[in-house]
Structure formats: structure tokens, C-alpha cells
Amino acid sequence: MEKYTTYDQDVLVVGAGGSGLRAAISICQAGLSCGIVTKSLLGKAHTVMAEGGAAAALGNMGEPDNWKVHFKDTMKGGRFINNPRIVEIFSKEAPDRVRELEEYGAVFDRTPEGLISQRPFGGHTYRRLNHVGDRTGLELIRTLQDKVVSYKPIVYMEHTLTRLLMDGDRAVGAFGYNRQTGEFVAFRAKAIVFATGGWGRMYKFTSNSWESTGDGAGMAYEAGAELMDMEMVQFHPTGMLWPPGVRGILVTEAVRGDGGILKNNKGERFMFNPEYMPELYKGQYADTEEEGYRWLTDKVNNRRPPELLPRDVVSRAIYKEVLAGRGSEHGGIYLDVSQMGAEYIKRRLPSMWEQFYSLGGIDITKQPMEIYPTIHYTMGGIWTESETCSTSIKGLFAAGESAAGLHGANRLGGNSLTDILVFGKRAGDHAAEFAKNADFGKIDSSQIEEEANTLLAPFTNPGKENPFKLTQELQEAMQEGAMIARTEESLTKALNKVMELQERAKSIHVEGDRVYNPGWHTARDIRFMLKTSEIICRCALERKESRGAQWRLDYTDASEEWGKINLIAQRDGDAVKLIHRPVPAMAPELAAMFEEIK
């Protein structure tokens, strides 16, 4: 049997992004021992990529904003398959979570009154995104990192976990390896929080880092947890397109919030085309370009331009424009902010300017950007209970992008940074509560042995498959078949390819030893990616309608029936079992709010 080291922690937090760190703060505050496991170094998690801001209805901008409006915006954005109770908790607790960050050391941009400045964003009725220039995610993670470090938890940097250890139906630990040495590690914990992020890496053009391979969802699935809304993968309308070296890198929505306009190759602001305006948002956006411009300076008396419609709407419009032959030179659309002036751009969007200038060789103060939708976020994930963030596995909690239920079919920009704060805290609190009333479970060494063998197999495997090659093939298949516009045919093709790759993955072979060996790491990652991709395809095939991020060319309309259903995916031996579960009903007082505005 392979050697491994065992560590004991009251609560184990898997993932050191925003939600993991926020959970860790709560656990430390509860006086428990906390271990944080991260695949990277501390502070490098995907949270740093978030740019625009954290949405919370502080109402600092003189607009009548409150949690109810935020609730309504989020439900509408999610096309009503979000869990209303989760959204309620979210919008009510968001302001406190954001203000608390200031206490921890965050330094947001200010209003003239000295309060946190808020910017407008797609799908939000009022200016609601608390921000620091266009690097809000960095500010968040650094703030949380500094705060959590002051409690002196144990941070296991560059450790990958690959298996949830079960004691009957309860999660009691996790097993994996130290990336730096290749040594195996096992963690024993009374409670486990999964804050493992999303899985945008299975697409070719992605704004996600290598880390987003869906290990968390994969591990939870393999242990029998329920996954929900897995078909809902968000395409951010504006990813960098040219040159190829930068393809997929995100262009923040703040560019549009701060005056950036979308143009096709005829120079038309095509978002004003009434064809692209969904019924749900009619009358709430500017009808003319003049009003759109006026809104930049007078937000109270004008409506926002339609470039700021929710992400799924804008992505579809861009897709259609390009399809109709009105695309840019390299097959995208132009995003132009140059009319706002160099000084303004460099002050409001400094890191965007830098990103285009130094990575792409483009000066956005002088020329338009070429953009195309890129994979950005996964709304689906591990099913969680609304109050406690507990999953369908006892002792396992989930928060942030790895959890499902808040965003429904489409996430509004700015809601993810608040998501990780609100539910990071809740998951931490409730995991701590659970751990206080629990003992360490029993670790089953046969599970460890099984996983160790799985991990080591690629070294001795007689096969010839290259893990990087398989990853590339998977990304191409998913990009082609499960992107913005989906059909039965494209999804089936992608699914078949995924199944074929799953077979081939069994004969992956890697060279070298276990010390920091990327080939070996990828050999395990790809198995999570393949399983998650399979689930995405199956769920997308199952949901025979268009809703939010799920756009089916063969079922172009939203169906009332599907609007009441969340798709649950659960492991059933080697097969994926899909369950139709009714969307939780909205509490009467919340439902009444919708009657008011309708």
C-alpha cells in the first residue's frame, strides 16, 4: 500500500478562492481548527479574474435600491429557475457582507459622500456594483486572504484532492496529493466545505484558468451528491478574440457600463435592433442611441442602453450578428469605448487598457476591441440546502460557483462576488456548527488504496494516450457541440465524443516522476472534466427548451413546463441518473412582489 500522510482538521475547506477564504474566516472565528487546501498558491484563485464589482443593494448612489429590487433582478436574470429562498437570503445579506470587507481592509472606490461607489451592470435595475476600478476580484481575495491569515489557519498550498472519503453516507475526509512532492495526503475532518469553483476549462475559448476543471463537482458526484442545473454554462458576451494568443480572456462588462458600445461591421449598434429585445425586458432599456448616451451622464432620467442587457441576451445577439455575416474581420463583433476619451478610460478601466495594450497590442483609447463570447461561469453545481449550504451528502457543504441554486439559468454580472461572500460565510458557519456536534468519522483505507491506484495507474499504464491531447480534443468537442447555440444533433455529437474520450482516458500514459509533474496532474484532472462534460451534455439534451444560457436552436422558446423544473444529476453506478425536480415555490410575500411589478 502506498504511503500517505494524514492530517486532522475540525473543518476542511477545499478551495482558496473567495468562498473558501470567507468560509475559513467563519470557521476560525468559531474557534475551530481549519485547514485550507488549494491547488495553487494562496491568493491566485479564479476570484482575481472578477473585474466589475460585487452587487449589493447598498443604495449609495441616490437611487431607491433595496434588497427587494436586487431579488427581483436576480430572479429575472435566472429566468425563474433559481431557488427563491436562496436568492432572498443572498439579496438580504449582501450589503452586510460587502461592508464587512471594509473592516477587513478592502478599499473600494468612493462616492463624493465618502461611501462605496457603485456602478451599473447588465440586468441590474440600479447602480449596484461595489467596485475598485476594474480589479474588484483581486481586492476581494487579497482582503479575505489577509483576514484569514491573521487567524493562522493551516494552508495546504499546491495540494490537489481527488477523492472524497466516505463513512457510510457521511463525508469524513478527502484524499489527494501534494503537487510539489507528489506525496499522497489524506485529510480527516468533521465537516468539509467545497468551495472548488467552476468548470469552464472544458471549452476551448475560456476565461477560466487551468484550475477550473470541476474537481469539486466531480468528487461530490462520484461520492453520490446531487448536481443541479449542470446544463447552465454562462457565455460572457465579451471575450478577447484577436490575436489568437489572447483568445478567450475576459473583457469586463464594466466597459459597457462605462460607455462601451457594440458595433457590427457596418458600424451599427445592433443591440438597438428590436429583434434582440426579450419580452421580459421590453420598455426598460433605451430605444435610441441618443438616450443611451444621455444615460451615461444622467442615469435618473434616462434608460440604460441595451448593451447592458443580461449576458445570455447579448451573447445570443452577437452570435446572430456574426452568423448573418455582419461580424468583424476575425469573426467577432466590435466593442468600442474610444469615444469616451483616453483620460476617462485609463481612470475607469485601467486594467482593461493594460490588458489590451500589453497582451494584445491594441490601444483601446484609439481603436475598437474585437470580441466574441467566451465561457465564463457555471451556474449549475452541487445542490445545496438554502439555509445551511449543506449538500445531499452529510458533512459536506458547498458554496460559491461550485454550488447551484442562486443563479438559475443565467447569472447577473456582479452577483458572483457577492455569492462567495454570503454563502462562503453561511457554509463556514454551518460547517462549524456541524463540526462542533460531530466526531471524526472512520476513514476507510480501502477507498484510499483504490484512489492511490487510480492516481498511479498512468505511470505504469501500457497505453499511449497523452492527457494534454485528450484535453484538447475534449475542449474542441465541447466548444463545437455545447456552446451558445445547441441542438439535439450537436449535443449528441459532443456527448459521443466525450464518451469516446472517457474510454481512451483509461489508457493515459505519463512519463517522469511524481514531483511537480503537469502531465500526471492532467491525467487525473481530465477524468473530472470528462465526467462533468458528459453531465453537461446529458442535461442540455434533456432540457428541451431555451432558457437563459441554454439556447436550443431546435426548441427556441422557453416552455412553461420546463420553467418549473430543475434538472438533478446523480450517479447511478456508471450511468448518470437525471431527475426532474420542481423549482421550490416562492414564499407568498415574495411572489406578491412580482405581482406588483408585472
Partner 1 sequence: MASYSANSREEGRAPLPMENRERDWWLMPLLTVVVLTLFGIYTTFRAFENNYYHYTNNGADYLSPFYSPLLPIAWYLHLPLFGLKMVSPAIYILIFPLAFRLTCYYYRKAYYRSFFWDPPACAVAEPRADARMKYTGERKFPFILQNLHRYAFYAAVVIVIILWKDTVDAFIWTNPDGTHHFGIGVGSIVFLVNIILLSLYTFSCHSWRHFIGGKHNCYSCSCGTRSSYGIWKKVSFLNHNHALWAWVSMLSVWFTDFYVMAVASGMFKDIRIL
Partner 2 sequence: MRDKVTIRLFRGNADGGTETDYEVTTFPGMVVLDAIHQIQGTQDSTVACRWNCKAAKCGSCSAEINGRPRLMCKSHVEDFADSNGLIRVHPLKTFPLIKDLVTDVSINYRTAEKIPPLTVSEDIPRPFKMQQIDVERIQEFRKCIECFLCQDVCHVLRDHNRKDGYFGPRFMIKIAALNMHPLDSENRLRQLKEEGGIGYCNITKCCEEVCPEHIHLTDNGIIPLKERVADYYYDPLKILIRKIVGPKKR
* Residue 461 found at the interface with partner 2 (CB under 8 A): no
**Catalytic hit among 128, 236, 411, 521:** 236
* Residue 157 found at the interface with partner 2 (CB under 8 A): yes
Supply 149's cell numbers.
491569515
Q: Which of residues 579-598 bind partner 2 (CB under 8 A)?
A: none
Look up residue 141 and give its DSSP letter: H
Among partner 1, partner 2, none, the one that 585 touches (CB under a kind-dependent 5 to 8 A) is none
CA–centroid distance for 171 within its chain: 24
* Residue 150 found at the interface with partner 2 (CB under 8 A): yes
* Least separation in angstroms between CB 49 and partner 2: 6
* Residue 355 found at the interface with partner 2 (CB under 8 A): yes
* Least separation in angstroms between CB 38 and partner 1: 10
* Least separation in angstroms between CB 214 and partner 2: 16
* Least separation in angstroms between CB 133 and partner 2: 7
**Catalytic hit among 131, 256, 316, 571:** 256
Supply 403's cell numbers.
454550488
The verdict on whether 509 is a catalytic residue reads: no
Q: How many residues bind partner 1 (CB under 8 A)?
A: 15
Q: Identify the helix (H) or strand (E) that includes residue 398.
A: strand 396-398
Give the sheet arrangement for strand 381-382, strand by strand: 381-382, 227-228, 565-572, 575-582
Among partner 2, partner 1, none, the one that 359 touches (CB under a kind-dependent 5 to 8 A) is partner 2
* Least separation in angstroms between CB 302 and partner 2: 25
Alpha carbons 100 and 414: distance in angstroms, whole number = 17
Residue partners of 391: CB distance under 8 A and separation at least 6? 194, 220, 225, 226, 382, 383, 384, 385, 397, 398, 403
User: Which among 148-156, 278-286, 534-542, 569-577 is the span making contact with partner 1, rule CB under 8 A?
Assistant: 148-156
Among partner 2, partner 1, none, the one that 472 touches (CB under a kind-dependent 5 to 8 A) is partner 2
Q: Is 49 left (phi over 0), alpha (psi -120 to 50) or beta?
A: alpha
Alpha carbons 397 and 416: distance in angstroms, whole number = 18
* Closest to 403 measured CA to CA, from 214, 191, 151, 143: 214
| Closer CB to partner 2, 405 or 467, in the complex | 467
Among partner 2, partner 1, none, the one that 454 touches (CB under a kind-dependent 5 to 8 A) is none
User: Which among 75-83, 155-163, 533-541, 572-580 is the span making contact with partner 1, rule CB under 8 A?
Assistant: 155-163
| Closer CB to partner 2, 19 or 410, in the complex | 19
Alpha carbons 257 and 52: distance in angstroms, whole number = 9
Alpha carbons 518 and 478: distance in angstroms, whole number = 23
Over the window 110 to 129, marking each residue x when it contacts partner 1 by CB under 8 A and - when it does not, the resulting string is ----x---------------
* Least separation in angstroms between CB 535 and partner 1: 32
| Closer CB to partner 1, 142 or 263, in the complex | 142
* Residue 155 found at the interface with partner 2 (CB under 8 A): yes
Over the window 158 to 197, marking each residue x when it contacts partner 1 by CB under 8 A and - when it does not, the resulting string is xx------------------x-xx----------------
The verdict on whether 236 is a catalytic residue reads: yes
Alpha carbons 571 and 338: distance in angstroms, whole number = 51
* Residue 42 found at the interface with partner 1 (CB under 8 A): yes
* Closest to 240 measured CA to CA, from 361, 322, 341: 361
* Residue 45 found at the interface with partner 1 (CB under 8 A): no
* Closest to 158 measured CA to CA, from 45, 236, 269, 268: 45
Supply 41's cell numbers.
498558491
DSSP string, 205-274: SBS--TT-S-HHHHHHHHTT--EE-TT-EEEEEEEE-SSGGGTT-B--THHHHTT-EEE-TT---GGG-G
190 with 173: CB under 8 angstroms? no
Cα–Cα separations (whole angstroms), residue 199 to 52, 213, 236, 292, 328: 21, 5, 14, 35, 29
* Least separation in angstroms between CB 31 and partner 1: 16
Q: Report, as residue numbers or ranges, the catalytic residues.
A: 236, 256
Binding residues vs partner 2 (CB under 8 A):
40-46, 48-49, 99, 102-105, 107, 109-110, 113-117, 132-133, 135, 138-139, 142, 146-147, 149-150, 152, 155, 157, 180, 207, 209-211, 242-246, 249-250, 351, 354-355, 358-361, 466-469, 472, 510-513, 515-520, 522
Residues in contact with partner 1 by the rule CB under 8 A: 41-42, 114, 149, 152-159, 178, 180-181
